[in-house]
């Protein structure tokens, strides 16, 4: 009669037995009483509910439609690695996990208060990973890093991260498209991001910079490279190629629009065909990535052999007592998420009223006489705020009109925040200039360009908590400080534009004189 092999024999020696003994007291509480460990995550879902709602809504929009695919692929990564979960032992890391979770929570508050959607997304990911470390320890954190971190692609992270190089991507796309049009024999003249064709003028706007296409390709390429290749240089090659391919295919997309419009004159450049363009870029890019992967050579990552823990099915683990570390970790996780929720409830910014009505800004500023305008043009298009002033000022001694726009936001959020403005035309052409102020030099942004034979010069700046700012990062930073210190996120933007056919020096002096007079007057009405 044969006896079944002992545990020692089945696993090849005493080392396995000792490993069993060392891990016996570290069995995952997730197997024991999952309901208790779910509590922090249920609370997380409640506190972050607004983020989840916006995320799901984004799946049904053009820009966020790839989010559902990302979510499904992230779940699939979990499913592929599900067997590893069965062997993970929970060794809570209460203090380091709490630090990471708190950082994620603070980042979430910062994202909510400043209306920065990508920061909300990053903070959600960091918070979940913090909870994984807090409740499960390093092994659970490592396991969760890829599938949870991958979810960052559901948020417009790269759009905002790469916002500073958006104009460069636009210029590259325009250069590629114009070159391709010339190759097929179509005369194309390139001026910055504008392509002039015999039958139409194309502008590679910010929405056409290709960031969304690059993001979609990266979202597929990154997990694919980790599943298929072992070597880091192969993974890096695939990831870098995804960026290059996304840019190249986006240039082809713009060029194809230019070609199509030569046969379909007078029609819209956008419409149902956008679905075809997006599909073309994504699937063509995916095929190219598969081909590159084939050229690099397949070295599929071998999944680790499932280790069967001796005693893994023993029933005594369901009855063991909670350790002090486990109780501490659960308490810290729950209280940390509750802290974030209380921060939202008790520090949610409230609308702030103006010091005085914008209409009360004098119609006479120095030697300039003003009148209200309603027809917005050029850099003023697309700016619509609940509280705003648009006025034209004329100097009797000058033939150069000056236009003043003041827009005020009593409260900022994701849809309406001060850093959404000004228009792309000012962002891409502006530099910083110091002008005379009431209490010394004041820095503002200046841009100058020609349009249809008219020379335009613009000055603009943000005003937050009585501070004049020139950078978007500064505006977000001061918005956050104001939110935490004073419980408000009010902000304003001021834009001054002159237009003339006269020599630029005369127009410059005229506009600059008005700006120096207007700065203290406008500020008095804001704060």
Give pLDDT tens digits for 106-118: 999 988 888 888 8
Answer positive or negative: Cα dihedral of 501, 502, 503, 504.
negative
Q: Given a cut of 60, is residue 31 above it in pLDDT?
A: no
pLDDT of residue 270: 53
pLDDT of residue 299: 63
Nearest to residue 311, comparing CAs of 91, 3, 6?
Answer: 6
Phi and psi of 190, rounded to 5°?
Answer: -105, 125
Tell me what the mean pLDDT of segment 159-186 comes to: 77
Q: Given a cut of 60, is residue 303 above it in pLDDT?
A: no
Tell me what the mean pLDDT of segment 488-512 comes to: 83
Give the whole-angstrom CA distance, residue 389 versus residue 147. Answer: 49
Half-sphere exposure of 290 (CA within 13 A, CB side): 6
The pTM (predicted TM-score) of the whole model is 0.69
Tell me what the mean pLDDT of segment 177-183 comes to: 87
**Contact call for residues 309 and 20 (beta carbons, < 8 A):** yes
Give pLDDT tens digits for 321-353: 567 787 888 888 888 999 888 888 888 888 888
**Contact call for residues 63 and 212 (beta carbons, < 8 A):** yes
**Contact call for residues 130 and 101 (beta carbons, < 8 A):** yes
pLDDT of residue 13: 40
Split at pLDDT 50, 70, 90, the class of 403 is very high
Q: Given a cut of 60, is residue 358 above it in pLDDT?
A: yes
Alpha helices in 264-299 (DSSP H): 273-296
Nearest to residue 193, comparing CAs of 254, 281, 280?
Answer: 254
Nearest to residue 260, comparing CAs of 204, 181, 205?
Answer: 181
Tell me what the mean pLDDT of segment 399-405 comes to: 88
Q: Given a cut of 60, is residue 276 above it in pLDDT?
A: no
Q: Specify which of 46-50, 282-286, 393-397, 429-433 reaches the highest per-range mean pLDDT.
A: 46-50
Q: Given a cut of 50, is residue 2 above it in pLDDT?
A: no
Nearest to residue 521, comparing CAs of 433, 437, 462?
Answer: 437
DSSP state of 60: T
Coil, strand or helix at 459: strand
**Contact call for residues 355 and 525 (beta carbons, < 8 A):** yes
Give pLDDT tens digits for 13-30: 433 333 333 344 444 444
**Contact call for residues 364 and 517 (beta carbons, < 8 A):** no
**Contact call for residues 425 and 403 (beta carbons, < 8 A):** no
Give the whole-angstrom CA distance, residue 211 versus residue 63. Answer: 10
Give pLDDT tens digits for 437-496: 777 889 999 988 777 677 888 899 999 998 999 988 889 889 989 988 888 999 999 999
Nearest to residue 460, comparing CAs of 447, 473, 448, 449?
Answer: 447
- Share above pLDDT 70 across residues of the chain, in percent, rounded to a whole number: 78
């Amino acid at each position: 009669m044969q006896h079944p092999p002992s545990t020692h024999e089945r696993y090849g020696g005493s080392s396995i037995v000792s490993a069993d003994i060392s891990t016996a007291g570290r069995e995952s509480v997730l197997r024991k009483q999952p309901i208790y460990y779910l509590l922090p995550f249920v609370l997380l879902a409640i506190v972050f509910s607004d983020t989840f709602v916006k995320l799901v809504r984004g799946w049904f929009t053009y820009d966020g439609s790839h989010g559902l695919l990302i979510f499904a692929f992230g779940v699939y990564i979990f499913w592929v690695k599900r067997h590893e979960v069965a062997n993970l032992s929970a060794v809570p890391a209460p203090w380091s996990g709490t630090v990471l979770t708190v950082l994620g929570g603070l980042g979430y508050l910062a994202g909510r208060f400043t209306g920065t959607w990508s920061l909300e997304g990053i903070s959600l990911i960091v918070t979940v990973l913090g909870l994984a470390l807090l409740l499960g320890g390093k092994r659970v954190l490592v396991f969760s890093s890829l599938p949870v971190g991958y979810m960052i692609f559901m948020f417009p992270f790269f759009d905002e991260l790469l916002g500073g190089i958006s104009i460069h991507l636009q210029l590259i796309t325009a250069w590629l498209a114009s070159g391709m049009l010339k190759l097929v024999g179509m005369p194309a003249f390139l001026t910055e991001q504008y392509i002039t064709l015999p039958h139409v003028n194309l502008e590679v706007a910010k929405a056409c910079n290709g960031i969304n296409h690059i993001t979609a390709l990266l979202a597929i390429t990154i997990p694919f490279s980790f599943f298929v290749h072992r070597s880091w240089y192969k993974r890096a090659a695939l990831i870098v190629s995804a960026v290059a391919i996304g840019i190249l295919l986006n240039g082809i997309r713009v060029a194809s629009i230019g070609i199509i419009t030569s046969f379909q004159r007078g029609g819209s450049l956008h419409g149902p065909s956008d679905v075809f363009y997006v599909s073309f870029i994504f699937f063509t890019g995916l095929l190219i990535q598969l081909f590159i992967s084939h050229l690099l050579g397949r070295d599929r990552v071998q999944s680790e052999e499932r280790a069967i823990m001796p005693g893994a099915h023993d029933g005594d683990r369901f009855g063991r007592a909670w350790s002090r570390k486990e109780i501490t970790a659960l308490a810290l996780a729950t209280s940390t998420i509750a802290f974030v929720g209380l921060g939202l409830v008790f520090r949610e910014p409230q609308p702030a009223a103006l010091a005085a009505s914008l209409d009360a800004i004098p119609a006479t500023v120095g030697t300039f006489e003003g009148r209200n305008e309603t027809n917005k043009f050029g850099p003023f298009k697309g700016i619509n705020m609940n509280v705003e002033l648009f006025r034209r000022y004329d100097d009797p001694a000058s033939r150069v009109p000056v236009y003043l726009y003041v827009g005020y936001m009593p409260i900022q959020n994701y849809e309406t925040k001060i850093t959404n403005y000004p228009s792309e035309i000012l962002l891409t052409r502006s530099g910083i200039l110091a002008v005379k102020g009431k209490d010394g030099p004041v820095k503002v942004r200046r841009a100058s360009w020609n349009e249809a034979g008219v020379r335009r010069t613009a000055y603009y700046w943000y005003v937050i908590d009585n501070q004049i700012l020139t950078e978007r990062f500064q505006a977000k930073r001061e918005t956050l400080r104001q939110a935490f210190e004073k419980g408000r996120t009010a902000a304003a933007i001021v834009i001054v534009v002159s237009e003339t056919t006269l020599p630029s020096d005369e127009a410059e002096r005229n506009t600059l004189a008005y700006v120096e007079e207007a700065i203290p007057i406008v500020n008095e009405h804001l704060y």
